[in-house]
Amino acid sequence: MAQVEKRGGLLRKSSASKKPLKEKVVLMYDEIFMTEDPSKCSPRFWEELFLMKVNLEYLEGKLESLDGEELMKIKDNINCLFQHCIQALGEEHPIRVVNALQTLCALIRGVHQKNKSTSGFDIINMLMGFDKAELCMKNLMESLDSLLCAEGSESLKSLCLKLLLCLVTVTDNISQNTILEYVMINSIFEAILQILSHPPSRREHGYDAVVLLALLVNYRKYEEMIQLLYEFKYMTIYAAQLRLGLEKPKNSSSALSDGTIIKFQCPDQIVVWSVNPYIVKLSIVDDEATLNGMGLVIAQALSEYNRQYKDKEEEHQSGFFSALTNMVGSMFIADAHEKISVQTNEAILLALYEAVHLNRNFITVLAQSHPEMGLVTTPVSPAPTTPVTPLGTTPPSSDVISSVELPLDADVQTSNLLITFLKYSSIVMQDTKDEHRLHSGKLCLIILTCIAEDQYANAFLHDDNMNFRVNLHRMPMRHRKKAADKNLPCRPLVCAVLDLMVEFIVTHMMKEFPMDLYIRCIQVVHKLLCYQKKCRVRLHYTWRELWSVLRLSTNAGQWKEAASKVTHALVNIRAIINHFNPKIESYAAVNHISQLSEEQVLEVVRANYDTLTLKLQDGLDQYERYSEQHKEAAFFKELVRSISTNVRRNLAFHTLSQEVLLKEFSTIS
């Protein structure tokens, strides 16, 4: 019997005597791409279509193969397909819903791929038509919201999130994606929060939900006034679909229910004032379960990155390359470091930034203790029915995901989101030559800047009762050995932050000096010192590595002049040293003591403090607070563009096999 092979929508038989046969769904797609309405000859056409397994490759390829004129000829059929997909989302049969979701993804990507150079309005018109766009998108968003919030198939929830990610990232610059105006009006914010607050849903879909939220927050983030210039026919239709119900008057305005104001200024211009509702809503979230859930998702993703890096590091240390470097020296140590780099995860880092920057309640999540991920072993749960792959990273293993929600054990090293983030930062900040690592390193420092300015964050950073052993990754260098993990002391978390800043400062003295990153490191240290001065906190920290500019000023090197200027600026520090050193030496000589105790040194300081003369420095405990709007807007626009491209590239809609779906749906009551 001849074997049947499926390829490109064709059913090819091994026998050469017969013509190759097409799948039925492909034949139905071909009917849609005709100018005639496919349901005229077959009244049950749309019902049957969504029972067929979707052929994403064929559908997208067919859309891309048409030129603009050909596409316009079948616009009515595409509109009809889009509308029937939305209707199918309300069907009780889950297979229809799955096929409708996948078809929507193919339509959105295929139409946009064909209309890259055109406006968002043209894409809206091609997909659903201007006259029905508002109702279509309202029904679509309501259906997706219902599916995400319902107790049911995890496969459907996964596809809903992927469809939303497809919708958001269909353009590199998400602020130019006009379709997202409907996502702003018909918010799914509460559905995202429900996923994050519900442990089973969070384990399956938390990553996609967090990335989706981070991207939505950045839609037209910096545009307080958005000017939309279009021809009169586009403008009047757009105004109508927003239910203004007005003809186009001059110098008049109208307000929508969500606070958006549309003002007509001239015959060819609309000016829209709007506020991204996802920014406002994220800033006021105060539900503890939701915030902790978001923190756990971020911690899991960063921990997975740290684990992958550590595994590769250990692999290189125990492999052939390690043996070779032991024989010939450490001259190739930098090359070895480059080889163990792991792909960075800017999407999850952006989510952390938005949470820290916008929501002060999230600061408490940074200090929430949980067992160190990777140290606690638990039985591995069965693989989920839906293969969910975080975008741009390897998915966290089941034991890692489960371990963070176990009760604390006194014998297990505890950790928290801040520690995990500091470890991640110590890895990505080692090598800033790569563009992605440079962006990640800069974003890490911006996050630390926001943390260093927060009063509550400083309180737990400097709390002597919250001591942790933080194993930061240190750049391999010829003149120092790697510190053993077991020798790390337990200290307040601010010491780990300072360690990270000092590590970057002393290990990046390179020809192409990263001045911007250096300034940010110094600013973080400065803000921490300002808090210590204000709250009279005396930190037991070894400052020698940071305040060693004196060594360079006394050596005949290229940095002597610059070091001398810095040394001169440290006039008070030098005055303290010059004043107390002779007093301490005199005390030791008179009392015949070779080594003074801490109490004896303090006694000398107290006895001679009144004679110490210091230069009054004004404004040292003041600093300019972080502002994203004016100084960082360009950086975040470029970062979000890169993330959007990466998310779109890694989206996969064909991971759900029909067999898996049938098995899952057969068990749903």
Q: Give residue-wise pLDDT tens across range 339-357.
A: 456 788 999 999 999 999 9
Distance CA 98, CA 661 (A): 9
Tokens standing for residue 629: 């709007």
Q: Give residue-wise pLDDT tens across range 586-606.
A: 999 998 888 889 899 999 999
For the residues 191-200, what does the mean pLDDT come to? Answer: 95
How many CA atoms lie within 13 Å of 518's alpha carbon, on the beta-carbon side? 11
Higher confidence at residue 22 or residue 552?
22
| HEC per residue, 416-438 | CHHHHHHHHHHHHCCCCCCHHHH
Strands 467-468 and 491-492 turn out to be antiparallel
Torsional class of 626: left (φ above 0), alpha (ψ -120 to 50), beta (otherwise): beta
Q: Give residue-wise pLDDT tens across range 9-66.
A: 555 554 555 556 778 889 999 999 888 888 888 888 988 999 888 888 898 888 888 8
Higher confidence at residue 535 or residue 432?
535
**Helices 417-428, 288-318: inter-axial angle, 10-degree rounding:** 40
Confidence bin at 336 (pLDDT 50/70/90): very low
Q: Looking at the DSSP assignment, which residues form a beta bridge with residue 538?
A: none
State the alpha helices, DSSP H only, in 288-411. 288-318, 320-328, 333-339, 346-358, 363-366, 398-403
Instruction: Kindly list the distances between the CA atom of residue 593 and the CA atoms of 580, 584, 585, 609, in Å, as whole numbers in the listed order.
Output: 17, 11, 9, 22
Distance CA 395, CA 537 (A): 42
User: Residue 338: what pLDDT?
Assistant: 47
What b/e readout covers 483-492, taking b as 16+ CB neighbours within 10 angstroms? eeeeeeeebb
For the residues 213-223, what does the mean pLDDT come to? Answer: 91
Q: Give residue-wise pLDDT tens across range 347-394.
A: 999 999 999 999 999 999 998 876 665 443 333 333 333 333 333 344
pTM: 0.79
- For the cut 70, the answer to whether the pLDDT of residue 276 exceeds it is yes
- For the cut 50, the answer to whether the pLDDT of residue 261 exceeds it is no
- For the cut 70, the answer to whether the pLDDT of residue 257 exceeds it is no
Average pLDDT, the chain: 78
User: Residue 510: what pLDDT?
Assistant: 66
Q: Looking at the DSSP assignment, which residues form a beta bridge with residue 573?
A: none
User: Residue 498: what pLDDT?
Assistant: 95
- For the cut 60, the answer to whether the pLDDT of residue 291 exceeds it is yes
Distance CA 179, CA 186 (A): 11
pLDDT > 70 in the chain, percent: 71
